[in-house]
Structure 1
């Protein structure tokens, strides 16, 4: 079985700068390195393509130099672009600061990717084996949230709907969150995000609740798979009626954590649409994220051959 990854998120442009530390308010620092790169949802799509999956970008893109850069990068990775360019807006951008501890801080704008027409996915047909990817960031844009509220109930059913909660899941409006809760088949979250999502779905949580415990409770309540990424420790897999299981990660020296979660999710989606068993797909996703953090930049997911070679070691 080989399906497609249908990506409904946002590809934007990253203005990436490496700094010793995040500057204090009112100060000025010089970056030791900088680059203008396509990022955001592109990172997930590039990871899925490098793992061998067909990918369709069903998100917005703009008319202008940044939109041109996004389309060129998507073409280079072999991603099919579904929608026409927005006639009046360019693609948005994000300033991404990476410090000497490999942590990143973002300041983002919103462009054409945040203004997708409500009927944009009306003609999209999905079949068994396809994976629909949804980002929590989409729910912060009213136009995109309305589009997903209209499209997801129709698209869900015979396909996997993978929701990448993202750091903004706590800010998603209640009605938009309800759309995800009703259609998601797989949630992927990090340690911070699982607690935020848990508090929204389950109510107040004990201060010392472990990420895998919260993931297991969410899996029970939502009747979905919940994946909790715990950095180099790997990823907890929680299913309804089962104990959460840890799929280990790999030991690496991180130089840039920007895009690690995207690499993980892209490879995971590629595995699911290829019919790979979940634990095996998560294992490959863990390796992809581990390799990605050893490379500077946002879209640093490895190829399928690199993942296989690392597993063989």
Structure 2
């Protein structure tokens, strides 16, 4: 048994390919919405996948006003094709061949976050670049037809191959190898216009990962239009750890770094002190602490909350940090108390690491309901999750889970 860490390895570094969509960090990127991607060949399983993508429970039904934006959440970034090897006894050794007992493939990168949000019932819009290779087709189909994510603001780049990450999971950790090239910029004539209404689209919330020294103009635009901004951050490759370099931080409602990142940015000695220091910069500061759970401070009310980690058999931690953020965003938009939001985020991350695959391991409401009825409601140590009894009254506890598959897609048999 291991206790799930709800953030990824902080020293893994940033992916080599920057975000693509309506606005690229550090360069103009917004323009007219690209023509729709050509229709994919019909597959008999598409209707089944589309049925699975429809959430069985809407957590915002009771609080979403009639004049709410079309999208609950908007995000933009790079979609990778993830190929995951599991069942390795140790890290690969130079000059030898290692055989994995399991493998799978799924959309990765920003797709991890988008899928986690959509599976929790949020109406999700994603702007990303897709290659015009079979990898890009597969990722687009899985996200659009399989998960019900809106890709109308995404575009396909002719002649650009999709970024790929190979992830090897062993001993509760993972090693990744990535390859990709930055998608070419859109035509300069369609430069980013902060007053344009199309992109970022009106959305109740936006989710982003802040990058030191790299401006993301769309975040300020979204905040000015009333979107609630939730953000995490990656490892600072510059080594400066300067909060002032996170230009979009003042626009954020909540900031969710892990303990190592939070302490380096604040020069604090403990994650708890770091959270209080960050709460001087943002309304809500959340610091994840791996096996020790998470701690949050609400600067507006002075409220604090802490929850322990959940002991689970961790198979693959890919995307666990994204799932944690998605759980916190969902419960925040639903208006839950701070302690419940923190507990729910940790639970969703814990459920995700028990299966392999980043985006396709994200839990949906049926799996959350099944965990509560099977484990949570029976264990005295799970008292932090008692609120689920009230939340899950209308949620079915059974639905076919969607997991990473060994190939990019099996061929359909005729007849």
Identify the TM-score tier after normalising by the shorter chain.
0.7 to 0.9
Map Cα deviations across residues 75-126 of structure 1 (whole Å, 9 max, x no partner): 1100001122122312211111111x12112222234668577639852255
Q: 1:294 aligns with which of 354, 360, 363?
A: 354
Aligned to 1:60: 129
Matches within 5 A, 1:196-215: 196=264, 198=265, 202=266, 205=267, 209-215=269-275
Aligned to 1:240: 299
Matches within 5 A, 1:119-198: 119=192, 122=196, 123-124=198-199, 126-127=201-202, 130-136=204-210, 139=211, 145=214, 148=216, 150-157=217-224, 158-166=226-234, 168-171=235-238, 177-196=245-264, 198=265
Aligned to 1:90: 161
Aligned to 1:48: 117
Q: State the Cα distance separating 1:28 from its structure 2 match.
A: 4.0
Partner secondary structure for residue 115 of structure 2: helix
Change (3 A) 1:60 1:281: farther
Map Cα deviations across residues 230-276 of structure 1 (whole Å, 9 max, x no partner): 23433211233736420334332222222211211122222333444
Count residues with an aligned counterpart: 294
TM-score (norm 2): 0.63
Matches within 5 A, 1:275-290: 275-290=335-350
Change (3 A) 1:120 1:15: farther
Partner secondary structure for residue 354 of structure 2: coil
TM superposition outliers: structure 1 runs of 4+ over 6 Å? 172-176
Change (3 A) 1:171 1:156: farther
Q: 2:139 aligns with which of 70, 81, 84?
A: 70
- Distance in 2, matches of 1:6 and 1:131, equals 6
2:96 aligned with 1:22, yes or no? no
Q: State the Cα distance separating 1:278 from its structure 2 match.
A: 4.0
- Distance in 2, matches of 1:37 and 1:223, equals 34
Aligned to 1:219: 279
Partner secondary structure for residue 215 of structure 1: helix
Matches within 5 A, 1:89-108: 89-99=160-170, 101-108=171-178
- Distance in 1, matches of 2:298 and 2:290, equals 20
2:208–2:232 contact (8 Å) kept in structure 1:
yes
Map Cα deviations across residues 54-77 of structure 1 (whole Å, 9 max, x no partner): 000022222211111110111110
2:74–2:200 contact (8 Å) kept in structure 1:
no
Structure with greater Cα Rg: 2
Q: State the Cα distance separating 1:190 from its structure 2 match.
A: 1.9
Partner secondary structure for residue 177 of structure 2: strand
1:60–1:116 contact (8 Å) kept in structure 2:
no
Aligned to 2:46: none
- Distance in 1, matches of 2:239 and 2:150, equals 28
1:130–1:159 contact (8 Å) kept in structure 2:
yes
Q: Which stretches in structure 1 are left out of the alignment for 5+ residues? A: none
| Larger RCO: 1 or 2 (CA < 8 Å, sep 6+) | 2
1:83–1:120 contact (8 Å) kept in structure 2:
no
